[in-house]
Amino acid sequence: MNHQAKGLFITLEGGDGSGKTTVMREMEQVLREQGVEFVTTREPGGIEIAEKIRSIILNPQHTAMDARTEALLYAASRRQHLAEKVEPSLDKGITVLCDRFLDSSLAYQGYARGLGMDEVLEINLFATKGRFPDLTFYLDITPEAGLARIASSQSREVNRLDMESLQFHQKVREGYLLIAEMYPERIRIVDASLSKEQVAAEIRRQLSVTLKDFMI
């Protein structure tokens, strides 16, 4: 078992249908092979209180939800998840793999919903007390290809944000690409239109390099 003073905080981002689940499995596999202790979690959710907030946000019947309410609920669920699960794990030296984190709010609420990335960043900095991931993979794919994948996978529930227009999902992608420019050290863009095997190989390569850098 390798030892680190602090766990690594790794997040995974991508538009709907970008293949995050498959990539998460690959990352878990790499960490297991390298003997890194880790937990896998997701946003919004990951712990009871945050899962409850998630069910309010994503309920397809909640069409009346105001954009700022949505942004605040994501931030609230993020705070609870961070305080209750992510930070205690990192402090124990456990690496955390998280499906979505604050970049989702910047892309979806800040950019695509038009609330403004700066304002959404501000409420998120309050929620996270400035905590950023050590490494973020953004799985980049056109919304057309992403949504086609969702349509073909019957196992996945349809949530309120899936029901948004193609134009909304295009804005989400534009937002992510802008965020990746804002944080070039932290965010790696991965071409998610490639085959599953090619995407997995790229993730494996990049994650291995980062692990080497962080290991004592």
Residue ranges that bind ligand TYD, judged by CB under 6 A: 16, 20, 43-44, 58, 74, 99-100, 104-105, 108-109, 159, 161
20 vs 188, beta carbon nearer ligand TYD: 20
- For the chain, the three-class secondary structure string (H helix, E strand, C coil) is CCCCCCCCEEEEEECCCCCHHHHHHHHHHHHHHCCCCEEEEECCCCCHHHHHHHHHHHCCCCCCCCHHHHHHHHHHHHHHHHHHHHHHHHHCCCEEEEECCHHHHHHHHHHHCCCCHHHHHHHHHHHHCCCCCCEEEEEECCHHHHHHHHHHCCCCCCCCCCCCCHHHHHHHHHHHHHHHHHCCCCEEEEECCCCHHHHHHHHHHHHHHHHHHHCC
The residue count of the chain comes to 216
7 vs 17, beta carbon nearer ligand TYD: 17
What sign does the CA torsion over 14, 42, 65, 75 have?
Answer: negative
